[in-house]
Amino acid sequence: MHRLYQEMLHLTPEQIERVYKSAHHIREWYDQHPEIETWEDYIRYMGKSDEGQEV
């Protein structure tokens, strides 16, 4: 946590807000998809999601 704090000291308030929003979005997505544990699981999931969409 200390290392993260040290890195964030150099960010602007706008950059910190973007980091927060991104982390919040990822956390919400993960909470809604607990079966996704690995990158491979994510790729498989996204492939299935894309199959039902028209381009």
pLDDT of 55 reads: 37
> What's the pLDDT band for 48 if we cut at 50, 70, 90?
confident
**Span 4-16, pLDDT tens digits:** 899 999 999 999 9
**Span 16-34, pLDDT tens digits:** 999 999 999 999 999 999 9
Of the candidate ranges 4-13, 31-40, 41-50, the one whose mean pLDDT is the lowest? 41-50
Query: Can you give the three-state secondary structure of 1-55, one letter per residue?
Result: CHHHHHHHCCCCHHHHHHHHHHHHHHHHHHHHCCCCCCHHHHHHHHHHHHHCCCC
